Amino acid sequence: MSEARTGKRFPLHLPIKIHKEDNADNTSGMTGNLSAAGVYIKADASLEVGSPVEFEITLPPEVTGGKDNVVIQCRGRVVRTDEPNTHPDAGENRGVACVIDSYEFVRNS
């Protein structure tokens, strides 16, 4: 099996909010790992491979070295879904691997 991942992955377990396109059923979860190109999400979210997804990742001060949380708003696509317990990082939630197409830092006002 060839390795499709690019960039170094960091095993960061950070809060994440998943916003579905219809805004009807937003989901919270945790990241399993994170890289500049993508994220592995542990959440009870039913997302299909190839579907667009928007999500917010909250970086705490311990990660950024700052004083406050930093929120990153991301847009991407689902590239893989794992049923619960089929991935070592999944825990009891479903695993969702997403590529990050764009992101922006959200400033608190």
Question: pLDDT value at position 50?
Answer: 94
Looking at the domain assignment, is residue 32 inside a domain? Answer: yes
Instruction: Centre a 10 Å sphere on the Cβ of residue 27 and count the other Cβ atoms it contains.
Output: 18
Q: What is the pLDDT of residues 58-92, one digit of tens each?
A: 999 998 899 999 999 999 999 999 877 555 554 56
In a domain, 27, yes or no: yes
pLDDT digits (tens, 9 = 90+) for 2-22: 455 557 888 889 999 998 666
The model's pTM is 0.78
Residue 56 lies in a domain: yes
Residue 8: inside a domain, yes or no?
no
How many domains are contained in the chain? Answer: 1
In a domain, 44, yes or no: yes
Domain assignment present for residue 63? The answer is yes
Boundaries of domain holding 90? 15-106
CATH code (residue 41): 2.40.10.220
* List of residues 6+ apart from 101 with CB closer than 8 A: 75, 76, 77
Segment 13-50, tens digit of pLDDT: 999 999 866 656 688 999 999 998 999 999 887 788 99
Distance of CA 10 to the CA centre of its chain: 12
Give residue 90's pLDDT: 46
